[in-house]
Structure 1
């Protein structure tokens, strides 16, 4: 019975070329750049249409301002509760596997107030 040859670190013949677990590192920036280019082109088209119907500068700038305000408020209303909820959930899940001792020191705000009240040497 013939023994199989051992593989070494430099044995690249057995590795197929199509196995690539991660995308190349320059692929995500190209995607973000392409998305940004499409957004800029769409915004310029909107400005052209608004200028065609004789919209003044205030009316042209109101649309993007309202869109950005809605996006900020919406992301805050969704992101803050979701982040806090996931934080609480992760602590509960991790506490099943790890032991977190109760902190014996007071909160940092109490420490700051106490040190502010101490007399100077």
Structure 2
């Protein structure tokens, strides 16, 4: 019997979308191949996949340069598309990762206090 190695991301996306799409590549939207959540996976053309790789956002945190989603997971303990979008927007506006993360924590604290 022949054995095949299949990556978790491929299993998830093929199950969710109903099979592999011909002529398309599986893409990790934020460039973090360890983040196999459906919000981070999609099928796109080969050329779009290459452009996405070139647009991956790296940040400096704790003396290391890393992918933005990896840094968010290290700081907040989990990945969250809302935190990613919020922090990415501020980084594109010129803030550094640390200040954008602090701003997000303050925002969440105010939201919790308001709802209490």
TM-score interval (norm. to shorter): under 0.3
Q: Which has the higher strand share?
A: 2
More helix by share: 1
Q: Give the TM-score normalised by structure 1.
A: 0.25
